[in-house]
Every structure is written in C-alpha cells, then in structure tokens.
Amino acid sequence: MLHEHLKKKLDAISEQHLTRVLRAAESPTSPHQTVRNIDGVGQERLMFCSNDYLGLASHPQIGEALAEGARIWAGGSGSSHLISGHTLAHEHLENRLTEWFSPFIPHARVLSFSTGYMANLAVITALGDSEAEFFSDELNHASLIDGMRLSKASVQRFTHVNVSELREHLISSTAKIKIIVSDTVFSMDGDIGPLPELLRLADEHDAWLVLDDAHGFGVLGHLGRGALEHFGLRSDRIILIGTLGKAAGLSGAFVAAHERVIQYLIQSARTYIFTTASLPAVSHALLTSLDLIEGEVGRTRREHLLTLQNQLRVGLTNLINSHASLGWKLSNSSTPVQPLIVGSNDAAVILATELECAGLRVPGIRPPTVPVGQARLRITLCATHTESDINRFLGALEITANRLETL
C-alpha cells in the first residue's frame, strides 16, 4: 500500500517529464568534467551548470588550504557551535567577513553557517514571529520560501521586482515588524534585484531588508564583496546572507548584520543551535578563498566573466533572432547566470538531451523550480571557461535549433 502510493506519485512526475536524475562526477568541479552517464560510464562533458563562478573550486591554492586545514583541525567539529563545535577557524572566518561588510552595515557582525539553506531558514524563522509580516519577491529562492512557511509571520508576495506593488503592500500593512525579503541575483533568471529602491522603501516603512546574496557574493563589486558593494549600499536594516559553496568554491554560508541581529540569531535560530558546526578545515580554507576573491585572481576572473557573458549574450541573441519561430527568450541578466527560456518542459528536455549527446551539459530547468510555461536552459558561466567553450556551446545549440525548427 505504502509503496503503491509512492509509485503512483513517481509515475505522475515521470508522465509530466519532471523526473530528476542523479549523475555522479568522476573528476573535480571544472568546465571540463567527467560525469557518469545512466549506464555508469564516465564521459567528459563541457559543463555549463555549476555555480563555481570564479572557478575557485579547482584552484590549487584552495585544495592546499583545505589540506592544511585538515592537518591543523583534523575532522569534524564534534558538536553544535554553542556546545563545543565553535573553533578559532570559524571565528577567524567570521572576523574576516565582518571586516568585509563593515563598510556596508554599521556595527556589523558575521555568523557562519553550514549551508545557505540553513542560514536562510535561520534568519527567516528567527525574525518571523507572530508580530511580523514578510514582503517577498515571488521569485525568491526555495530556502527563503521554506523559512517563511515555517515561521509564524504572515507573508505578502509581490510580483518579481515590482517596487510599486511592494510599496502598496507596505502602505496597507498593519504589522508591527515588516521584513522585505529578496534575492540579490535571482538564481533562475540571473537578473539583479532593485536593491536601492528596496532599501529606500525599508527606510520609509521602518522595515528590515533581508537580502540573499548567494549568487552575488564573489561576483559583484570591484572586490567581489557582492551586491552591497555593487550598489554602494549602507544600512543597519540590511541582513545579508552569503553562500560560500558557489563563487567562493568551497561550502558554507554566513549572515552579515548589525551585531544585535547576530546576537538574536545565536540565541534563537534553530538551524544554528541544533546542528553540528561545519568542518573547521573548510573555514580555514575559506580564508584563502577570500584572499583570492578580493585579490588579483578575483579581479581578472571577474573581468573574464564579463567578456564571456557578452560573447554568450550576443551569440544567443543572434540565434534567437534567426530561429524566431521557436519563441525562445533571453532573461534580463547581467550576471554569469544566463537562462535561455524555451517555454515547454518538452523543449527544455529535448535541448538538454541533444546538448548532452553533443558532449555538453546544460541543465534544463522545469517547474516547480520555475513557473509553468517558462522552462529553460540555465546556462552558468565560470571564469575557467574559454571563449572557444562558448563558441562550442553556441554551435551545438544552433544545430539543435535547426532540428527543432523542422519538427
């Protein structure tokens, strides 16, 4: 009976072409990676799917720093931060990030987390008490949405980046505590949120501004400090979540906020209190990652990313125009996340499959991750891609587009 119940659900997922498949990589994260196919055979693929935007995951200094961290700190932290898992490695990382964010957040303090998902749940559930109301962009990341579902606060969604709709909601709200929540770079669209306007509204309505900078940290800003540096924002209303498993090339996350907010998270955030602290070796290696992000390596890699982005957008625009009957669209993205919106689930699956046959891996993203009718290829660029990698992708896409047009 129980198994029958699950089988029906799995069949329904499969009928909608929404089955997700796990594929194991045989080599480290990089644009050229060996990945096992469904028969378990390793094949080299040109990858456009990781969030390792600066290519730091395979940077030799990161591997060395991780090994050094393991020599100093050995294995796991053994318990949660508040019991005995909090080490000097975590504290050095938090202090360094506090320096990074002090120009943007008065009286800043940083708290580290094992993942961005946990950091988002922490902030949202801790702030979202019964006196609070969230004002949330409809395209916010699942972890923010899950946090709101778990919280005791009410939730008002606003249409993606629609600042005037947000203003109306704020005006009519009677909640004592108002909390605006937004991704900085939207993970499936790559566009950057209207953060200066959001901060202006937060000031006008005495609201917190919770920003998830998972895809901005390391990528945006001259020094790679992310969306706050990009826009030059400064406020003690801002609560910023950054992740360290994307551009930073390792894993983990942090919350940067006024020290009172951090103190409150330490006292009350369940995903901080009731989980084992991350490996100290990772925190140790993250210091090297921060050096790379703000130094010459980061600067030149961010410049190269911009070159690749432009090359890709020009190529995709030409391709869309010359295959107008397919109805494909580019999103308004100025970041390394460059989706090609193809509409139906079938089209996304066919494209991803054909590209795979040509030796490229580009994920087809379907509902519920994106709205129905907006399935897409989510193309992500890394600074370790080359211009000829982009040309190879565009060439393979052109062949598939020609075939699809004749179907």
Ligand X SMILES: Cc1ncc(COP(=O)(O)O)c(C=O)c1O
Site string for ligand X, 232-271 (x = CB under 6 A): -----------x-x-------x------------------
Question: Does the footprint of ligand X cover residue 214 (CB under 6 A)?
Answer: yes
Shortest spacing between CB 212 and ligand X, in angstroms: 5
3-state helix, strand, coil split of the chain in percent (to 5) is 45, 20, 35
Q: Give the interface segment with ligand X, choosing from 64-72, 165-173, 207-215, 360-368 (CB under 6 A).
A: 207-215
Please identify which residue in 69, 85, 116, 221 interacts with ligand X, judged by CB under 6 A: 116
Shortest spacing between CB 135 and ligand X, in angstroms: 17
Other Cβ atoms less than 10 A from the Cβ of 86: the count is 18
- Which residue is nearest to ligand X, using beta carbons? 116
Q: Give the interface segment with ligand X, choosing from 75-83, 211-219, 296-304, 373-381 (CB under 6 A).
A: 211-219
In 3D space, the residue among 204, 124, 132, 136 whose CA is nearest the CA of residue 165 turns out to be 136
Shortest spacing between CB 8 and ligand X, in angstroms: 30
Question: Does the footprint of ligand X cover residue 115 (CB under 6 A)?
Answer: yes
Question: Does the footprint of ligand X cover residue 141 (CB under 6 A)?
Answer: yes
Rounded CA-CA distance 401/399 in Å is 5
Longest Cα–Cα distance in the chain:
64
- Give yes or no for a contact between 101 and 229, defined as CB atoms under 8 angstroms apart: no
Q: Give the interface segment with ligand X, choosing from 88-96, 114-122, 358-366, 395-403 (CB under 6 A).
A: 114-122
Strands 337-343 and 375-380, sheet pairing: antiparallel
Q: Give the interface segment with ligand X, choosing from 20-28, 145-153, 209-217, 325-333 (CB under 6 A).
A: 209-217
Shortest spacing between CB 134 and ligand X, in angstroms: 16
Written as six digits, the tokens of 404 are: 């699809």
Q: Give the interface segment with ligand X, choosing from 116-124, 131-139, 277-285, 356-364 (CB under 6 A).
A: 116-124
Complex with ligand X: residue 347 or 375, whichever CB lies closer: 375
Written as six digits, the tokens of 79 are: 């318990």
Complex with ligand X: residue 214 or 351, whichever CB lies closer: 214
Question: Does the footprint of ligand X cover residue 117 (CB under 6 A)?
Answer: yes
Strands 177-183 and 132-137, sheet pairing: parallel
Strands 42-47 and 32-36, sheet pairing: antiparallel
In 3D space, the residue among 181, 179, 186 whose CA is nearest the CA of residue 120 turns out to be 181
Question: Does the footprint of ligand X cover residue 137 (CB under 6 A)?
Answer: no
Identify the H or E element spanning 142.
helix 142-150
Shortest spacing between CB 351 and ligand X, in angstroms: 22
Three-state DSSP state, 358: coil
Rounded CA-CA distance 332/238 in Å is 25
Shortest spacing between CB 147 and ligand X, in angstroms: 10
The amino acid sitting at 32 is H
Complex with ligand X: residue 227 or 396, whichever CB lies closer: 227
Strands laid side by side in the 364-365 sheet: 329-330, 337-343, 375-380, 364-365
Q: Give the interface segment with ligand X, choosing from 9-17, 210-218, 357-365, 381-389 (CB under 6 A).
A: 210-218
In 3D space, the residue among 177, 169, 171, 170 whose CA is nearest the CA of residue 151 turns out to be 177
**Cβ contacts of 170 within 8 Å, gap of 6 or more:** 135, 178, 180, 201, 204, 205, 207
Question: Does the footprint of ligand X cover residue 151 (CB under 6 A)?
Answer: no
Complex with ligand X: residue 77 or 187, whichever CB lies closer: 187
Site string for ligand X, 177-206 (x = CB under 6 A): ------x---x-------------------
Question: Does the footprint of ligand X cover residue 143 (CB under 6 A)?
Answer: yes
Three-state DSSP state, 355: helix
Shortest spacing between CB 116 and ligand X, in angstroms: 2
Identify the H or E element spanning 197.
helix 195-204
Question: Does the footprint of ligand X cover residue 384 (CB under 6 A)?
Answer: no
Q: Give the interface segment with ligand X, choosing from 91-99, 110-118, 291-299, 365-373 (CB under 6 A).
A: 110-118
Q: Is 368 exposed, middle or buried (0-12, 13-18, 19+ CB in 10 A)?
A: exposed
Q: How many residues bind ligand X (CB under 6 A)?
A: 14
Question: Does the footprint of ligand X cover residue 133 (CB under 6 A)?
Answer: no
| Residue 335 φ then ψ, to 5° | -130, 175
- Interface residues with ligand X (CB under 6 A) are 115-117, 120, 141, 143, 183, 187, 212, 214-215, 243, 245, 253
